[in-house]
Amino acid sequence: MTINWQQEVESRKDDLLNDLIELLKVKSEREDDKITADAPFGPGPRDALLHMLAYGERDGFIVKNVDNYAGHIEYGEGDEILGIFGHMDVVPAGDGWDTDPYVPVIKDNKIYARGSSDDKGPSMAAYYGLKIIKELGLPVSKKIRFVVGSDEESTWKDMDYYFEHEAMPDFGFAPDAEFPIINGEKGNVSIAPYFESTNGGTYELINFKAGLRPNMVPQDAIATIVTPSNEAANALKTAFDAYVKENPISGTADVDAANVNIKLIGKSAHGANPQSGINAATYLAVFLEDFDFAGGAKNFIATASHIHLDVYGEKLGAAHNDEKMGKLTMNAGLFEFIAGEEGAYINFNFRYPQGTDKETMAAAIEQSIGQYVTKLDVQEKHSGPHYVPMEDPLVSTLLAVYEEHTGEKGYEQIIGGGTYGRLLKRGVAFGAMFPGFTDTMHQANEFMSLDDLFRAAVIYADAIYRLAK
Ligand SMILES: [Zn+2]
C-alpha cells in the first residue's frame, strides 16, 4: 500500500495549525516560586502538558499523565517501544519582542510565538504524524509512545520522574532540533566560579546582574556603580556612551549624583551556539575593567572580562576539538554580584565533545582564573557526549525518509544542544528545522515557517510508520 503522506497532511493543515495556536497560548515558562505538589515545575508547564495530553484523548489515543511531570500518547502494540520525545516547557520570553510572545501571530507565512520552533511546533508536527497513522488504521508491530515532557529547558526532572514510572523506549527520536538528523550530542556541564562580594576601590560595584538561564546568551546586563564624585559619574557616563558607539551593543548610563546605573543590551541566543549571540555581561565587564575597583568586585569583573568572546573556552584553557563531534563551546549565561551578599557567581555552561571531561575542564579553569575565585562549583549531575552511528537502522531509516521527501542528500550532524534524543542509547534528534533555516530558538521573535511545519509533519508521519511497522 502506498500512502500519500503529503495529501494526508494537506487535509489536516487547518486542524494542525489551530491545535498549535491554542498550545502556544499557554505560557509554559518554569516558575520556581509557584511550584506545588500538582505543578512540579509551576502552573505553566503543567497546563501545557495537560493541553497536549487532552489532544491525545480527544483523538482517541491511550493517554497517560505521570503526575503532571510528563505523560505519553500511545498507539499500537508490540514488544518493542518506539519513543518520540517532545517538550511543552519554554524558556522565558525575555525582552525585545515585536508582538506578544503568547499571542501567536501569523505573518509572511510564519507563526511567531515563544515555543513555535522550540518545541511546540515540531512536537505538534510529530503528533500529527502519529495521528495520521492512527486515523488511517495502519498496521504497526511496535508500541509507539509520544512522550511529552515539561521541564526540558531546565532540569530534565520530568524525564527522571517519568522513567521511574514508565518503561524506557527501545529506540526513538526527538523532534527538537534539525534535519537531516542529529545523531550526536555534546556533553553538557555547568561550572560556576564564586567570588567574594566585597569592594575597596575608589569605585564600588553595588550590583551586577545578567542572564536568565545557563543555556541562553545574556541579552541584558545591568550594574550600579558608586563613583568617587559627581564629576566621575558624568565622566563614566561619557565613556560608556562612547563605548556603546564603538561596539555591536546598545545601552544607557543614568547618573544619579555620584551613582551610575548602567543597562547594556546585546543579543540572546541558544547557549549551545554562543557564537550566535552577543553577551551583554562580558561587554559590560570589559567596559568596567578600566575603573578602579577592588576586592571581590575587581575579581568578578576581571573574570567576566577575561572570558569576553571566549565561546570556545580557549582563554579558560578548556578548549577541545574532536574530529567527529567538533569543538567544545562555552556560554557564560548567568552573572550575579550583590555587594555584601554572599554567593556572587558566574555560570559557565560547556558543551563538549568526546575526548575531554568535566574534571579536565575544571582543572584548566582553576589554572586560568583560580586567583580570582573563592571556589569552583562543578555540576554534579550532567550528561556526557552521546553518539549513534550512521549504520544504526534508526539513523539510516530516518535519513532515507528525509532524502525521499526532500530530494536532498542526508548527512550526520553533531550539536551542542542536549535534546531528549540522548535519553535513549539508540536515540537521536530529527527535525523540525530544515537546512538553511533562521535559528530563532530561545530568542526574541521566535518563529516557525508554516511550510516547514507541514513538510515536517509529512516526514514524521512516514518516519514513524517505517520505524514502527
Ligand atoms: Zn527544545
- Count the neighbouring beta carbons within 10 Å of the beta carbon of residue 103: 11
pLDDT band, very low/low/confident/very high, at 389 (cuts 50, 70, 90): confident
Q: How far is the CA of 177 from the centre of ligand 1 (A)?
A: 7
Q: What share of the chain is helix, strand, coil (3-state, %, to 5)?
A: 35, 25, 40
Least confident of 112-116, 239-243, 420-424: 420-424
E strand or H helix at 47? helix 43-58
Rounded Cα–Cα distance for residues 209 and 248 (Å): 20
pLDDT tens column, 37-88: 999 999 999 999 999 999 999 999 999 999 999 999 999 999 999 999 999 9
Q: What is the pLDDT of residue 14?
A: 98
Task: Answer whether 0.85 is exceeded by the pTM.
Answer: no
Mean pLDDT across the chain: 96
Q: What is the pLDDT of residue 323?
A: 85
pLDDT tens column, 83-120: 999 999 999 999 999 999 999 999 999 999 999 999 99
Q: What residues contact 1, with CB distance under 8 A and at least 6 apart?
A: none
Which residues lie across from 39 on neighbouring strands? Answer: 36
Query: What are the CA-CA distances from residue 125 to residues 7, 103, 115, 456 (Å)?
Result: 15, 20, 13, 6
Q: How far is the CA of 262 from the centre of ligand 1 (A)?
A: 32
- Asked if 350 contacts 318 with a C-beta cutoff of 8 angstroms, the reply is yes
Q: What is the pLDDT of residue 44?
A: 98
20: closest CA among 94, 97, 159, 114? Answer: 114
Residue 356, SS3? Answer: coil
Rounded Cα–Cα distance for residues 162 and 269 (Å): 29
Q: How far is the CA of 314 from the centre of ligand 1 (A)?
A: 27
Rounded Cα–Cα distance for residues 299 and 195 (Å): 7
Alpha helices in 266-320 (DSSP H): 280-288, 295-306
- Asked if 370 contacts 190 with a C-beta cutoff of 8 angstroms, the reply is no
Residue 302, SS3? Answer: helix
Q: How far is the CA of 303 from the centre of ligand 1 (A)?
A: 30
Rounded Cα–Cα distance for residues 182 and 126 (Å): 16
Q: How far is the CA of 218 from the centre of ligand 1 (A)?
A: 18
Q: What is the pLDDT of residue 1?
A: 64
Q: How far is the CA of 468 from the centre of ligand 1 (A)?
A: 24
Q: Which amino acid is at 406?
A: T
* Residue 417 scores a pLDDT above 70: no
Q: How far is the CA of 118 from the centre of ligand 1 (A)?
A: 5
- Looking at the chain, the whole-number percentage of residues with pLDDT higher than 70 is 100
The phi and psi torsions of 113 (rounded to 5 degrees) equal: 180, 155
Q: How far is the CA of 215 from the centre of ligand 1 (A)?
A: 11
- Asked if 215 contacts 349 with a C-beta cutoff of 8 angstroms, the reply is yes
What domains sit in the chain, N to C, each tagged with a CATH number?
5-186+385-468 (3.40.630.10), 188-378 (3.30.70.360)
Q: What is the pLDDT of residue 382?
A: 81
Work out the average pLDDT over 1-28.
Answer: 96
Q: Which amino acid is at 385?
A: P
Work out the average pLDDT over 319-347.
Answer: 95
Work out the average pLDDT over 378-387.
Answer: 88
* Residue 177 scores a pLDDT above 90: yes
Q: How far is the CA of 458 from the centre of ligand 1 (A)?
A: 20
pLDDT band, very low/low/confident/very high, at 324 (cuts 50, 70, 90): confident
pLDDT tens column, 400-411: 999 999 999 999
pLDDT band, very low/low/confident/very high, at 381 (cuts 50, 70, 90): confident
The catalytic site residues sit at: 89, 152
Work out the average pLDDT over 261-271.
Answer: 96
Q: How many residues in total does the chain contain? A: 469
C-alpha cell at 394: 534508526
pLDDT band, very low/low/confident/very high, at 325 (cuts 50, 70, 90): confident
Residue 182, SS3? Answer: strand
- Looking at the chain, the whole-number percentage of residues with pLDDT higher than 90 is 93
The phi and psi torsions of 350 (rounded to 5 degrees) equal: -100, 140
- Asked if 216 contacts 333 with a C-beta cutoff of 8 angstroms, the reply is yes
Rounded Cα–Cα distance for residues 154 and 89 (Å): 9
pLDDT tens column, 197-224: 999 999 999 999 999 999 999 999 999 9
Rounded Cα–Cα distance for residues 300 and 193 (Å): 9
Buried b (16+ CB within 10 A) or exposed e, 337-360: bebeeeebbbbbbbbbbbebebee
208: closest CA among 145, 317, 296? Answer: 296
Rounded Cα–Cα distance for residues 318 and 411 (Å): 29
pLDDT tens column, 138-173: 999 999 999 999 999 998 999 999 999 999 999 999
Rounded Cα–Cα distance for residues 265 and 280 (Å): 6
